[in-house]
């Protein structure tokens, strides 16, 4: 089985299972207990969606990598985060300069590239855009975006309906989660990330049923 997986994933320098194990070890060192619960929740929820959508074992492994990496640097001190992003050659946007914690997504994606030589765009974009979304995001990125909001440790009004909907109709569920996220940003006077606005506009222009 392992041999089969290694052959199948031969375009990755490190076998994906090894990456997942390494990420789990790093998670235990870098994040709070609460965050760990969230990360495990995202891993679990994204795999449930993958099962529902009939995704291949390789796609499921990719989802696990994204889940375990996406918030790996969410609890590190912001000064360290800024230092890491400089070292990785990330140029922060105007908003990221004001809210450096947002850099945790890009830093995690760059870390995967450097540490594990992962250049798989499906994995990298899913990590980069897990907070903001992106108008061109693919299916794995959408699954993580959704799982980040719906995993079992999250609680907010309407979450049960959204959890049900995502398994009944992924496209509709994704749209409702996007809508809910935007409403939350406005209701709580938070920053509306430009990528989120673009994703919304693109979705409306394409037609909600084609998300
Ligand atoms: Fe995050
Ligand atoms: Fe998260």
Q: Where are the domains of the chain?
A: 2-155
Q: Which ligand is nearest to the CA of 68?
A: 2
Count of alpha carbons within 13 angstroms of residue 20, beta-carbon side: 15
* pLDDT tens-digit readout, 87-117: 999 999 999 999 999 999 999 999 999 999 9
Q: State the SS3 of 9-31.
A: CCCCCCCHHHHHHHHHHHHHHHC
Domain 2-155: top CATH class: mainly alpha
Per cent of the chain over pLDDT 70 is: 93
Q: Calculate how far, in angstroms, residue 108's C-alpha sits from the geometric centre of ligand 2.
A: 12
C-alpha 65/C-alpha 69 separation (Å) is: 6
Q: Residue 12's pLDDT is what?
A: 66
Q: Calculate how far, in angstroms, residue 16's C-alpha sits from the geometric centre of ligand 1.
A: 22
Q: Which ligand is nearest to the CA of 75?
A: 1
- H-only helix segments in 9-158: 16-30, 33-53, 57-70, 78-87, 94-98, 104-116, 121-128, 139-150
Q: Calculate how far, in angstroms, residue 83's C-alpha sits from the geometric centre of ligand 2.
A: 21
Q: Calculate how far, in angstroms, residue 70's C-alpha sits from the geometric centre of ligand 2.
A: 6
Q: The whole model's pTM is what? A: 0.92
* pLDDT tens-digit readout, 33-44: 999 999 999 999
C-alpha 73/C-alpha 66 separation (Å) is: 13
């Amino acid at each position: 089985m392992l041999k089969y997986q290694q052959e199948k994933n031969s375009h990755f320098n490190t076998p994906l299972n090894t990456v997942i194990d390494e990420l789990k070890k790093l998670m235990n060192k870098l994040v709070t207990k609460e965050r760990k619960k969230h990360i495990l929740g995202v891993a679990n929820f994204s795999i449930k969606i993958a099962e529902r959508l009939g995704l291949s074992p390789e796609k499921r492994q990719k989802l696990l990598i994204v889940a375990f990496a996406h918030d790996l640097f969410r609890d590190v001190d912001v000064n360290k985060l800024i230092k890491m992003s400089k070292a990785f050659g990330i140029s922060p946007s105007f908003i990221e300069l004001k809210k450096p914690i947002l850099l945790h997504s890009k830093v995690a994606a760059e870390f995967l590239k450097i540490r594990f030589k992962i250049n798989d765009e499906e994995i990298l974009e899913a990590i980069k855009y897990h907070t903001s979304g992106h108008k061109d995001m693919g299916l794995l990125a959408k699954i993580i975006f959704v799982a980040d909001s719906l995993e079992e440790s999250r609680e907010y009004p309407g979450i049960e309906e959204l959890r049900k909907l995502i398994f009944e109709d992924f496209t509709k569920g994704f749209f409702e989660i996007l809508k809910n996220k935007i409403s939350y940003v406005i209701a709580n006077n938070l920053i509306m990330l430009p990528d989120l606005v673009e994703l919304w506009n693109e979705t409306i222009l394409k037609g909600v049923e084609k998300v």
